[in-house]
Amino acid sequence: MPTIKRSAEAIWKGGGPDGTGTLTTDSGTLSGTAYSAGMRFGDDKGTNPEELVAAAHAGCFNMALAFGLTGAGHAPEELTTTAVVAIEKDNGGWTIKSSALTLKGKVPGMTADAFKEAAEGAKAGCPISRLYAGAEITLDAELVG
């Protein structure tokens, strides 16, 4: 199977505390969507990286679970997952410390134990969960202007 690639662009203008940025994705789901330090560390309305990671984790987990359940002959009627990503400052700087998934599922004909087992498998196997375990990060940096 070929490698699948998705991309997003972030533009930041100004300093850290007072700057603002925009996020744009290939799909257009985000198109010049504002983000800032106030949105990340304060109560300003708008998005932030941790919220986007939480959405990615919840969505990835639901999809992995749906595929697993369907493959086992138990296609779900509905899966609702909330992901809460916690970011904390420590000696090394700001770090995502956890992602807590809360799942409610409607899967006819499945026992609670089998559902929990399938959910644990999806938690371990979804690509965003695996990203938390570590991934190669490369960087190509160029100073312009």
Q: Would you state the pLDDT for residue 98?
A: 87
Q: Would you state the pLDDT for residue 135?
A: 61
SS3 95: strand
pTM, full prediction: 0.90
Q: Would you state the pLDDT for residue 144?
A: 63
Q: Would you state the pLDDT for residue 27?
A: 96
Q: Which residues contact 104 (CB under 8 A, 6 or more apart)?
A: 79, 80, 81
User: 72 and 124 share a domain?
Assistant: yes
Q: Determine how many CB atoms are found less than 10 A away from the CB of residue 57.
A: 25
User: 19 and 67 share a domain?
Assistant: no
Mean pLDDT by 10 residues, the chain (145 residues): 93 95 96 95 92 94 96 95 90 88 93 92 91 72 66
User: 60 and 97 share a domain?
Assistant: yes
User: 101 and 69 share a domain?
Assistant: yes
Does residue 37 sit within a domain? Answer: yes
User: 65 and 108 share a domain?
Assistant: yes
Q: Would you state the pLDDT for residue 95?
A: 86
Q: Would you state the pLDDT for residue 40?
A: 93
Q: Would you state the pLDDT for residue 138?
A: 74
Indicate the number of domains in the chain: 2
Q: Would you state the pLDDT for residue 97?
A: 87
Residue 104: domain span: 48-134
User: 11 and 43 share a domain?
Assistant: yes
Q: Would you state the pLDDT for residue 65?
A: 95
**Is there a contact between 127 and 60 (Cβ–Cβ < 8 Å)?**
yes
d(CA 18, CA 58): 30
User: 62 and 91 share a domain?
Assistant: yes
User: 31 and 52 share a domain?
Assistant: no
